[in-house]
Structure 1
C-alpha cells in the first residue's frame, strides 16, 4: 500500500517516495495516473551517484588567479571544494565587481531549462528575482521548443501561447472528427512530460479514444514510430524539411479543384489574394502543384492529391509538430499549416482545424480548465536587454554586434558573467564545439546544479542544489488538472541547499535580504502561493480545498470542462466581438507587418524556401540527421539514472538507420558508429530498421556531452553535429533539424565513456 507515502511531482509525472533509513529507495507511480512514465524512477540511484555535487566548488585557476583566468580550461581543470561562506563571499564580490565595472547588462542569466515542477523552488524564478533585486541582468526570450512559432504565430493569429493552451481536445476529435493529419507525427514518448508538471498522463488514452471512435490518422514523417502502431496510421515518409512544400501541394489541389472554403477565407482571413499568386506560380513561375510537392518531398503526387480531397470531404484536424519549427525557416510550417486549415474552413469547429503539436507535451489536447497558479514574483528587471534564446554563442562571440529579430535591429551585450540555474545549455544548444569556444569569453561562469552535467563541469563556481525529493513545494500547472502538495521525502546531502536558500544568503551578504524574501520564509511563501492561486481559481469558478485539507490529502483534481475544448470556437462564432489580436482582427494569411520587415528569409506569406542543409542539396554528407526527443529522460535530465542507462547500448546512444543505408556502408546491427560532418563527430550504436525512411539517421538528444581531445562526443550527443544558426531574421530560433551527416563504422579501440564521472576535486588541507 503506497497511498500514505510522500508525494512528489515532476515534469514527467507524480510519484510516491518510499524511504528507508532516511534514504529514498524507490518511487511508486501515482495511483491516479493511467499511463505513468518510468522516467522519474531514474532519480533513485542518481541521488547518491558519483555525479552528485555535495559541496560548493571553484575551478582551480579561477580560485588562484581570479576572474578570467585560463578560461580555456573550463571543462578540463580540477575543482577545489570550498565552504558555503567562501562561495557566498566570492559570488557576491564577483557580482559587485561586474556591476561596478561593466554594468548589469554584462550579466547573462540564461537559465533555460526544466529544473522543477514546483511553483516555489523554481530555479529560474528564484534566480531572476534575486538578480532583479541586485540590479538586473540580460535575459533570453522564447524557448528552444518552438521559438520560431513564438515569433511568427502572433503575427498570424494574434497570440501563440493562448491557442496552444486551448488546443482542441481529444474528446472533441473523438466526438466530431474523422481525420487527423499529423505533420511530424504524434510521438507519444514526448507526451510523458509537461512544463508545469504532470498529475496524470492523457495522450495515449486520447489517441485510443479517437481511434476507437473511427478517426483515421495520417503520419507525415520520416519515422513511422512517430505514431503508435495501434492507430494503424497511413505513413507518408516525407523528406525532412519538406512539410511546407507538401502543405502547398495540398493547398494547390484544394484551390484548383474548388475544394477550399472561400466564404471562410473571406469572413475570417485577410491576405489570401496576396498569397494566391505565389500558390499558382504567377509570381515566381512555379505553380505549387502536387507534382512539384512530390519532387520536393519524394512522396507520390497521387497520394498528395488524394489526401487533399480526403481532407476536404472529412472533418479534419491538422497537427503540426513543435519539431518542425526547429529547422531552417522554421516559421513557415506553422504559418502554412494555419493557411491550409483556413482553406479547409474548419477552424473553430469541433474536431477540426489546426493544433500546434498533439503529444508534444502531455497537456496538448487534454481536457482541463486552466489553473491560474501563482508564481514567485520576479520583480522588475532594470536592464532592458535580451537575446533570442538560441543565440548564446553569437552573443558571446560578437559583443556589440548587430542582429535582426522580429522587426527590430538590436545589439549583443558584452557579457562578462554567465549565471545558469536549472538548465543545461550543453544539451539544448547546437554546435557544441562552437559553444565551448564561445564559453571561454566570459570572465566568470556560475552554475547552480545538483549533478555534474557538461554545463556544471564548465563553471567557475558551482553552488550545489537540492532535488525535488528533498524539499516541500506545490505543483499547480496551468495545463494540468492536478494540484499536488509536494512533501519532502529525504534530507539532501549536508553540502546542498535549495535555490531559495542560496539566494537568500547571498542577498543577506549583499544587504537586501528583506527585498528578496519579502519578509517570508519557505513555509510562508508556499502558503502565499496557494492562497493567491485559490483566490484566482475561485474567480474562475474553480474551487480548491483549504490549505490543511490539501496537506492532509496531498492532491486535488479539478473537474474537466462541461463541453470539450475547441480552439478558436469563439472567434468562429463571432469574429467581430471576438476578433483576433492581429492588426486586421482576422487570420493573416498575408501579413503586411511581416512583409514590411523586408526579410528575404521570411516574406509576407507562407513560403517554401530551401533549407541550408537537406537531402535536396546533399553532397559530401548525404544523410539527414533527426535528433529528436528521447523516450527515457526529459532533455538531458536523469541521463545518469537507471532508466536512461537501460536505454543505451554498451553505454552509448542508439542510432537508427534504414537497411539500405546500412548495407551501402557495410553496417550491421550493434556496430559502433561514428556520425560526423564538418562541425564535429559523435559515437553511437547501430540499430537497423525499416521504420525510418532511406537517407535519414535518427539519434535522440540528451546524452551528456563527453568530448575527447578532438571534440568527438564519446557518449552520443548529436548537438556536436547540428548547425548553430537562426531559423530566420524574424524568429532566430534553433535549427537542429536541418543537418546533414555521414555515418561509418568506428575503427580502433572504443574510447571509454566518462560523462558520469566527476572531475578531479581537490580538498584544502586543514
Structure 2
C-alpha cells in the first residue's frame, strides 16, 4: 500500500478515553525508559506526563513498527475495567444459550465472581469429570516467560480441576506439523536448525519461494526478538548475486530489496507447478539420481506417478500450465534455471492453510531432493522460512526460564482447528493422523490467551458452536469478540502493567520486563486470578507452590544462571539481571541440524522417519488409507475454484500492522485502515469490471457470510484474486441475525471450516471464493471497540 493512502479521510481512534490510574498506586512515572519486550520485538517504554512513549531496542537493525500500537491501546475504551458476567448466565444459570454474543453484562466484584466461577468449576468437574472442560489458549498473549497465558491456564487446570481436554498443533502449521514427522523427521529441527538466514546471505545462489517470505510475518516471534535480520540477509544475498524467485499471487510476499522475479500463479496451484518442475528435471536428466537413491525412500513409486505410468497423465509443464495459470515454457525455463546452482526451495505456511495443504509441503521436499541440495549450507528445503522470526535462527545454548504446566491427567485432545466440530458434534468420530477419534462432550470452555474469533474460520458457525456449551470463561484485557461471547469475563493486565522475563530460545537477548504503569481499572494478572481460584478449590499450594509472582521470576531465572556458571560464562544474579537492560545468552553453532548430519553420513545419522530417510513415498501414510492424503505427493484437483456465484479467490493472509488480532484498536493498526475498515487489495482490471475505484468500500460475500472492507487497487496482485488480511475484530452490524454483516472487514466470516485432510485436520483459512461488489449504502458505524452496553449509533464518518 502506498505511503499516505487515504490520509485525508482517515478516522482516528480516540486513544485516552479512560483515566490513568495514579502512578503512585503501583508504578511511579520515570524519565528513564525501562526495558520490555513483545512478540514483535524488544523495546523500552516510559510514562511521561500521563502518556506512554515507546522506542525500539537500539541493537535491532530493522525494528518492527507494531510496537507503536501500545500507546493508544494502553488506556483505550476497549479495555475491560472490572469483572463482568453475562446477564443470561447470571439469571438462568449454566446451559446452552444462543444469546451469547448478543447479551448484556453485569459488573461484579472479584470476590463474588470468583466464588461463582469456583462453584461452576466444581459442578462440571464433579458431575461430568475434567474431560468435560476444554482448556483454550493459543499462547500469544504475552512475550513473558512467566505470565504466559497458555502455561498459566494449563497449570491451573492440571492442578485444580484434574486436567482438561487440550488442543494440539496450530492454525499456522496444522498440516505441516503432522506431515513432517512422517516424511522428514523432526519438525522443530527442520524449521529452526536447517537453513539459516546467515546461510542464505553467504551461500544461496537461487531461492525459489512458494508463498514468499513476507517481512510482516518474520517480524514476529513468540517471546520476542531483539534483531530483525531477514531483510538484511535477503539484501546481502541479492547483492552477492543470489537470485530470488517469488511464486505467489501477491507481489508483496517478498521485500523489494530481494529484487525477485515474480511468478504470479493461481492460488492453490503450487503442488501442480512443483510436479511439473520435477517432471522437467527428470525428462531432461537434470535431477540428482545419486542423491535420490542414497537419501530418499520411495522415489521409484513416485516417479511412476510423475511420468504418468500409473494414471496415464504425465505431470509435465503442458499439464500444469492451465492449472497454475502460467505459460508452459515459463515452467520449463524455471526448472532449468534451478539446475546446477545452490538452490533453496522455500514453502510458506500459507500454502498448507488450504484444502490438501499437506501436498505442497511434501512436494516442496521432493523438488529439493530432486535437485540434490538438501543438507547443504543455503540449499535444500527451507520449509516455513520467513513465516516467523525464530525460524532460521540459532538455538540458545542454555535453557530459557520456563513456567511448568504440570501433568495433564486427561489424554483426550483435538486438533486445534476442529473446535467448532467438537462443540457441535460431541460423540461423533473423525480421522486424525491414522487414528479414529471421538469428539468429547464439553460443558465448560476456559480461555486465557488468544482470540478464536480471529483464528477460526466460518465465524457464524463458531457462534453457533459456542452457544451449545454450559459456560464460557474468558480472561481478556479488551472486549474482543471472544470476550463478548463469554459468560464470565475476567479483566487481565496488559504486559506493560506487570513484570516478567522476556526472551525466546532462538534469540540471544534475555530481557527484564519492567512494568511502566499501574493496572487498568481492576485488572489482575492471570497468575493472581488463578491463585485465588485455586484457593477456593483447595489447591492453592499445588498451583502457587507458595511463591509470589516475583519469587517465581527468581525461581525460573535460576536454571539459566546455573547453566551459564557451569559453562564458565558470566552469570549475573537475579538482582543484577533485574537492574540491567538484559544480556545476551550464548548460542549454538549454525550447523545445519539433522539434515546436515544426515547428508554427511546417513548411516550414522539417520532421520527420525520409519526408513531413516527422506520419505518421498510413505508406507505409513499410505497405510492410513486416506483418499485425501495418499502415500506420496499427489495433485488432488483444484479447490476454491471461482464460479458465477463467487468469481474471485480470496486470500486471507496475515496482517502487517498487528500480530493476528492483537491491539487492532492500537494506533498503528488503525492508522492503516480507511474509513475505519480493513483494506482489501484488488487488481485494476477486476476493479474496472465492477465499477470499483481506489478507496471505495466493497462488500465481500459468499454462502457463509459477508463483510465490508475498503479497497486498494493495485497491479501487485494477480487478476481474479482479492486479498484481505485477517485480524480486524469481528463487528456484526446486527448480532441478532444468524449471518450478520461484519462491517469491519474480518475475512473469517467467509472462510471454510474444514480440515486440510483426514491426516492432519489443519486449518484451511487461507483461501476461499467470494463475490465482490461496491457498497453504495449508508455505512454502518464501527463498534468493534465499544464496550457492550455502551455502543452508540454514532456514524463512523
With normalisation by structure 2, the TM-score equals: 0.93
| From 583, 587, 604, the counterpart of 1:577 | 604
> What SS does the aligned partner of 1:26 have?
strand
- In the alignment, what sits opposite 1:568? 595
| From 194, 204, 223, the counterpart of 2:231 | 204
- In the alignment, what sits opposite 1:423? 450
| From 128, 131, 140, the counterpart of 1:114 | 140
Structure 2 distance, partners of 1:3, 1:600, is: 64
- In the alignment, what sits opposite 1:77? 103
- In the alignment, what sits opposite 1:658? 683
Structure 2 distance, partners of 1:691, 1:680, is: 27
- In the alignment, what sits opposite 2:46? 18
- In the alignment, what sits opposite 1:391? 418
Structure 2 distance, partners of 1:444, 1:173, is: 50
> What SS does the aligned partner of 2:315 have?
coil
| From 27, 30, 35, the counterpart of 1:7 | 35
Per-residue deviation, 1:366: 3.2
> What SS does the aligned partner of 1:205 have?
helix
Structure 2 distance, partners of 1:734, 1:370, is: 34
- In the alignment, what sits opposite 1:525? 552
> What SS does the aligned partner of 1:109 have?
strand
Structure 2 distance, partners of 1:321, 1:561, is: 25
> What SS does the aligned partner of 2:98 have?
helix
Structure 2 distance, partners of 1:506, 1:479, is: 34
Structure 1 distance, partners of 2:548, 2:366, is: 51
Per-residue deviation, 1:534: 3.3
- Judged with a 3 Å threshold, the aligned counterparts in structure 2 of structure 1 residues 8 and 178 are, in CA distance, closer, same or farther, namely same
> What SS does the aligned partner of 2:106 have?
strand
Per-residue deviation, 1:604: 0.3
- Judged with a 3 Å threshold, the aligned counterparts in structure 2 of structure 1 residues 370 and 655 are, in CA distance, closer, same or farther, namely farther
Per-residue deviation, 1:161: 1.6
| From 755, 771, 775, the counterpart of 1:742 | 771
Does residue 721 of the first structure (1) align with residue 750 of the second (2)?
yes
Structure 2 distance, partners of 1:578, 1:552, is: 45
| From 201, 204, 210, the counterpart of 1:174 | 201
Structure 2 distance, partners of 1:103, 1:611, is: 44
Residues 143 and 389 of structure 1 are in contact (CA less than 8 Å); yes or no, is this contact kept in structure 2?
Answer: yes
- Judged with a 3 Å threshold, the aligned counterparts in structure 2 of structure 1 residues 562 and 162 are, in CA distance, closer, same or farther, namely closer
| From 98, 113, 116, the counterpart of 1:90 | 116
Deviates more, 1:268-277 or 1:564-573: 564-573
Deviates more, 1:39-48 or 1:436-445: 39-48
- In the alignment, what sits opposite 1:361? 388
- Judged with a 3 Å threshold, the aligned counterparts in structure 2 of structure 1 residues 343 and 396 are, in CA distance, closer, same or farther, namely same
> What SS does the aligned partner of 2:207 have?
strand
Residues 544 and 556 of structure 1 are in contact (CA less than 8 Å); yes or no, is this contact kept in structure 2?
Answer: no
Per-residue deviation, 1:173: 1.8
- In the alignment, what sits opposite 1:40? 67
Per-residue deviation, 1:382: 1.2
| Unaligned 5+ runs, structure 2 | 1-29, 792-797
Residues 594 and 605 of structure 2 are in contact (CA less than 8 Å); yes or no, is this contact kept in structure 1?
Answer: no
> What SS does the aligned partner of 1:530 have?
helix
Structure 2 distance, partners of 1:299, 1:114, is: 39
- In the alignment, what sits opposite 2:794? none
- In the alignment, what sits opposite 2:185? 158
- In the alignment, what sits opposite 2:292? 265
Structure 2 distance, partners of 1:534, 1:605, is: 47
* Paired residues for 1:141-540 under 5 Å: 141-367=168-394, 369=396, 372-536=399-563
Structure 1 distance, partners of 2:421, 2:644, is: 27
Does residue 701 of the first structure (1) align with residue 701 of the second (2)?
no
Give CA-to-partner distance per residue, 1:169-198, whole Å, 9 cap, x none: 122122221100000011111122101212
Per-residue deviation, 1:160: 1.1
Per-residue deviation, 1:761: 7.0
Structure 1 distance, partners of 2:766, 2:291, is: 34
- Judged with a 3 Å threshold, the aligned counterparts in structure 2 of structure 1 residues 244 and 538 are, in CA distance, closer, same or farther, namely farther
| From 661, 666, 674, the counterpart of 1:649 | 674
Per-residue deviation, 1:537: 5.6
Per-residue deviation, 1:234: 0.5
Aligned length: 757
Per-residue deviation, 1:367: 4.8
Structure 2 distance, partners of 1:98, 1:174, is: 55
| Unaligned 5+ runs, structure 1 | none
With normalisation by structure 1, the TM-score equals: 0.96
Deviates more, 1:101-110 or 1:720-729: 101-110
Residues 370 and 479 of structure 1 are in contact (CA less than 8 Å); yes or no, is this contact kept in structure 2?
Answer: no
Deviates more, 1:708-717 or 1:564-573: 564-573
Per-residue deviation, 1:541: 8.4
Does residue 755 of the first structure (1) align with residue 781 of the second (2)?
no
Structure 2 distance, partners of 1:407, 1:619, is: 38
Structure 2 distance, partners of 1:312, 1:541, is: 47
Per-residue deviation, 1:543: 5.8
Residues 629 and 759 of structure 2 are in contact (CA less than 8 Å); yes or no, is this contact kept in structure 1?
Answer: yes
| From 631, 649, 652, the counterpart of 1:627 | 652
Deviates more, 1:101-110 or 1:448-457: 101-110
> What SS does the aligned partner of 1:579 have?
coil
Deviates more, 1:634-643 or 1:99-108: 99-108
Per-residue deviation, 1:519: 2.0
Structure 2 distance, partners of 1:538, 1:563, is: 23
Give CA-to-partner distance per residue, 1:535-583, whole Å, 9 cap, x none: 4566788765332332222211235555565672111111111111111
Structure 1 distance, partners of 2:143, 2:380, is: 31
Does residue 730 of the first structure (1) align with residue 730 of the second (2)?
no
Per-residue deviation, 1:610: 1.9
Runs of 4+ in 1 over 3 A off after TM superposition: 366-371, 534-546, 558-567
- Superposition CA RMSD, Å: 1.7
- Judged with a 3 Å threshold, the aligned counterparts in structure 2 of structure 1 residues 285 and 408 are, in CA distance, closer, same or farther, namely same
- Judged with a 3 Å threshold, the aligned counterparts in structure 2 of structure 1 residues 743 and 431 are, in CA distance, closer, same or farther, namely same
Structure 1 distance, partners of 2:415, 2:779, is: 38
Residues 193 and 394 of structure 2 are in contact (CA less than 8 Å); yes or no, is this contact kept in structure 1?
Answer: no
Residues 350 and 566 of structure 1 are in contact (CA less than 8 Å); yes or no, is this contact kept in structure 2?
Answer: no
- Judged with a 3 Å threshold, the aligned counterparts in structure 2 of structure 1 residues 82 and 748 are, in CA distance, closer, same or farther, namely same
